[in-house]
Amino acid sequence: SSVFQGRSFLKEKDFTPKELEYLINLGLHLKALKKHNIPHHYLEGKNIALLFEKTSTRTRSSFTTAAVDMGAHPEFLGSHDIQLGKKESVEDTAKVLGRMYDGIEFRGFKQKTVEDLAKFSGVPVWNGLTDDWHPTQMIADFMTVKETFGKIKGITLTFVGDGRNNMANSFLVASAMLGVNIHILAPKELFPEQSVIDTAKYFAKDSGSEILITDDIDKGVKGSNVIYTDVWVSMGEEDKWDERLKLLTPYQVNMEMLKKTQMPDDQLIFMHCLPAYHDTLTTTTHDVYEKYGLTEMEVTDEVFRSKYARQFEEAENRMHSIKAIMAATLGHMFIPEV
Ligand code: CP
Ligand code: NVA
């Protein structure tokens, strides 16, 4: 049993800062077990439902491989496979799934859907990304920060791009909880919502984290250890390409921007949650590249392939961190008070 048992992870503040730190460290521990081929069957005999309204490579694969590595059975339920939201309410779906599965992952549009799944299923529910938050990504990303710099508190991270999307929201709150100085570098039109800033400020009072929201590139990146970016148009808002390209083209992460951090090489990394539009080979967006005559978007191929880049370490850490989240909340695992 553990203090985490039976709890859901729907947004960062469902856990305390100390609990988030615990999950990051547990992820690093489970990564070491995997590396040394040591079995970690903390979910023996469990059944896990994986609900996806939006597409996914990393999150789906992480939950699947994590579940199997830990002895559980994962079942993928895409939006075209089940009745959810079409022939059946979220409440009824949750009540049924909760009687069959021991835990539920949900990726989709509304935060309310994942909240309702947790409310009505009676089993732990994990948010694999909604329009508002991407909490499991935070555990992986701060594992990556800790592996690189040996610490989390006191690090400065700049999130560049759409300051109102799920990743920006999650970084504002998670960074403030963990004592990471967080800069949101975005055009004014895409500054974060006040309610998210207020939540971050509340946690920053205790953690000492500094919060900076700016549209000034020099100020936004100076002194930063991590330059982080994400797609300019998130899943579900594909009608916004014109607006976003106009607003965000000046905020492309390139070598010139990295230089503006004025950081020594061993104190600077580039991160991206992926998927990324960094070259014209990204087939799904080919028409967008053609229409706008662009060859690269939120990050240049040069930065993406540079020595600063950590996006594939991050991607791997999704699996280890998702193991930690599932093992802590559902696993046969003793965790003393955190
Ligand atoms: N970073 C991330 O969530 O990737 P997917 O959309 O591929 O799951
Ligand atoms: N902001 C992106 C994140 C993808 C992992 C999206 O929601 O599409």
Mean pLDDT, rounded, of the chain: 96
Query: Residues 36, 171: one domain?
Result: no
3-class DSSP assignment, residue 27: helix
Q: What is the identity of the amino acid at 324?
A: A
Query: Residues 85, 193: one domain?
Result: no
Query: Residues 254, 216: one domain?
Result: yes
CATH number of the domain residue 48 falls in: 3.40.50.1370
Which residues, at least 6 apart from 29, have a Cβ–Cβ distance to it below 8 Å? 324
Q: Has residue 312 been placed in a domain?
A: no
Q: Has residue 5 been placed in a domain?
A: no
Name the stretches of the chain with pLDDT < 50: none
pLDDT tens, position by position, 198-245: 999 999 999 999 999 999 999 999 999 999 999 999 999 999 999 999
Query: Residues 123, 240: one domain?
Result: no
Q: Has residue 54 been placed in a domain?
A: yes
pTM of structure = 0.97
Query: Residues 163, 298: one domain?
Result: yes
Query: Residues 18, 70: one domain?
Result: yes
305 is catalytic: no
For 65-141, where are the E strands, in sequence order?
73-78, 103-107, 125-127
Q: Nearest C-alpha to atom 7 of ligand 2 is from which residue?
A: 234
Residues 198, 205: Cα–Cα separation, whole Å: 11
User: Is 57 marked as binding a ligand?
Assistant: yes
User: Is 59 marked as binding a ligand?
Assistant: yes
Q: Has residue 290 been placed in a domain?
A: yes
ipTM for the whole complex: 0.99
Query: Residues 58, 201: one domain?
Result: no
Q: Nearest C-alpha to atom 3 of ligand 2 is from which residue?
A: 234
107 is catalytic: yes
Q: Given the CA of residue 167, which atom of ligand 2 is nearest to it?
A: 1
Look-up of token digits 């999950």: 23
Query: Residues 230, 108: one domain?
Result: no
| Tally: H helices and E strands in the chain | 13, 9
230 is catalytic: yes
pLDDT tens, position by position, 112-122: 999 999 999 99
Cβ neighbours around 256 below 10 Å, total: 11
- Among candidates 68, 61, 21, 18, which has minimal Cα distance to 40? 68
CA of 128 from ligand 2 middle (Å) equals 11
Query: Residues 104, 42: one domain?
Result: yes
Q: What is the identity of the amino acid at 264?
A: P
Q: Which of 116, 272, 273, 311 is catalytic?
A: 273
Residues 257, 168: Cα–Cα separation, whole Å: 19
- pLDDT, position 290: 78
> How many structural domains is the chain composed of?
2
Q: To test the ligand 1 pocket, which listed residue (143, 273, 277, 317) has its Cβ within 8 A of the most ligand atoms?
A: 273
Q: To test the ligand 1 pocket, which listed residue (57, 106, 284) has its Cβ within 8 A of the most ligand atoms?
A: 57
Query: Residues 298, 160: one domain?
Result: yes
Cβ neighbours around 191 below 10 Å, total: 17
Q: Which of 183, 272, 318, 320 is catalytic?
A: 318
3-class DSSP assignment, residue 212: strand
CA of 1 from ligand 1 middle (Å) equals 30
- pLDDT, position 285: 65
244 is catalytic: no
- Among candidates 306, 300, 218, 297, which has minimal Cα distance to 269? 306
Write down the H helix ranges in 193-298: 194-207, 217-221, 241-248, 255-259, 286-292
Q: What is the identity of the amino acid at 314?
A: E
Domain coverage including residue 184: 156-224+226-262+269-307
